[in-house]
Amino acid sequence: MKRAKSMYGYYLVWPALFIYSLFFVLPALIGLYYSFTDWRLDRDTISFNGWDNFKTIFSDETLLLAMKNTLIFAVVTVLGKNILGIALAVALNMRLKTRNFLRAIFYAPSILSVLVISIIFTPMLRSEGMVNRMFEAIGLGSLSQAWLTDPAIVIFTIAAVSIWQHVGFQMAIYLAGLQSISKEYYEAATIDGAGAWKSFTNITLPLLLPAININLMLTLIGGLKVFSEVYVLTGGGPGNASQVVGTIVLRSFGEGSWGLGTAFNTLLFLIVTLISIPLLIFMRRKEVTE
């Protein structure tokens, strides 16, 4: 009887675990196998080719550029979404009459699809678009850029659009964390003569670590898996200047190089795992020590 009760939780988990294994773990393992093959659309047979696909990835300039762009996008969006998210959360946690309205305004873009965002921003970011016209109107015409056609800045432009869209979601998580912090800590700090900055660094940030941990993981994994923003805004252009791992995988499958595309997907999985797990362990330890 006791054994049956102890197994009750497993009975509830097994159906979900079976579905997860069937639709995620099994395809991932099959994909890992095919990443070491010459699987192509124009071939009837599939042969094991060892590390050839990975050698191709690290010897092709376009593929290396896609990896570089993916890392740049991830770093910029992680910093932008989290720094701005904390700033907005702190500001909108104050006793402002319009704070609920402002919270809704900042959060609203995160529920829109990337297609809608692209329809909004593509004409705005053209050379003759609203952004450049606004700079010219306020006397800052020197800041005008070819935002989506300049290879040097296009990946940063896409990252900025992603930050604009999703920062409200990070703000909401930080707001939840801020509202769980007791006001007594701040009152005690004020009595001890601590200013706003000291209260923020010594009280707010340490107690906000669980929310920071969640947001760092979400933004990092989302940044490394970027696809929709690049595909819709530029399609990887101009040329290959904004290609990322996701768009290269799509192109590889479209060209029939299924083994190569699967290898790139496997490499992306390894990168996400090798970066996110150590970061998660580090942040968890920081939570405990704080």
> Which three-class secondary structure state does DSSP give residue 126?
coil
CATH number 1.10.3720.10 is the correct assignment for the domain at 58-289: yes
pTM of the model: 0.88
Question: In this predicted structure, what is the pLDDT of residue 11?
Answer: 75
* Whole-angstrom distance, CA of residue 165 vs CA of residue 107: 8
Residue 37 per-residue DSSP state: B
* Whole-angstrom distance, CA of residue 131 vs CA of residue 121: 9
Sequence-distant contacts of 273-279: CB under 8 A, at least 24 apart:
275/220, 275/224, 276/217, 276/220, 276/221, 279/216, 279/217, 279/220
* Whole-angstrom distance, CA of residue 265 vs CA of residue 66: 12
Give pLDDT tens digits along the chain (290 positions).
556 566 667 777 888 889 989 998 898 899 899 999 988 888 888 889 889 999 988 888 988 999 999 999 999 999 999 999 999 999 999 888 898 999 999 999 999 888 888 888 988 998 888 999 998 998 888 888 999 999 999 999 999 999 999 999 999 999 999 998 888 888 888 888 878 888 888 888 888 988 999 999 999 999 999 998 999 899 898 989 999 999 998 888 888 889 988 998 888 888 888 888 888 888 777 765 55
Report the sign of the C-alpha dihedral through residues 79, 87, 227, 148, in that order. negative
DSSP H helices in the chain: 2-6, 8-20, 26-34, 52-59, 61-91, 99-107, 114-124, 130-137, 154-179, 183-191, 196-199, 205-207, 209-224, 228-233, 245-254, 258-289
Question: In this predicted structure, what is the pLDDT of residue 160?
Answer: 95
Angle at which helices 130-137 and 114-124 cross, to 10°: 40
CA nearest neighbour of 103 among 174, 193, 23, 181? 174
Question: In this predicted structure, what is the pLDDT of residue 4?
Answer: 58
**Both tokens assigned to 97:** 């009459």
Q: Respond yes or no on whether the N-terminal peptide bond of residue 109 is cis (omega within 30° of 0).
A: no
Start-to-end CA span in the chain (Å)? 43
Q: Return the exposure string of 170-202: e unless at least 16 CB atoms fall within 10 Å of the residue's CB, then b.
A: bbbbbbebbeeeeeeebeebeeeebeeeebbee
* Whole-angstrom distance, CA of residue 53 vs CA of residue 142: 45
Per the DSSP assignment, residues forming a β-bridge with 37 are: 48
Question: In this predicted structure, what is the pLDDT of residue 2?
Answer: 56
For residue range 207-264, list pLDDT tens digits in order: 898 899 999 999 999 999 999 899 989 989 898 999 999 999 888 888 888 998 899 8
Question: In this predicted structure, what is the pLDDT of residue 5?
Answer: 61
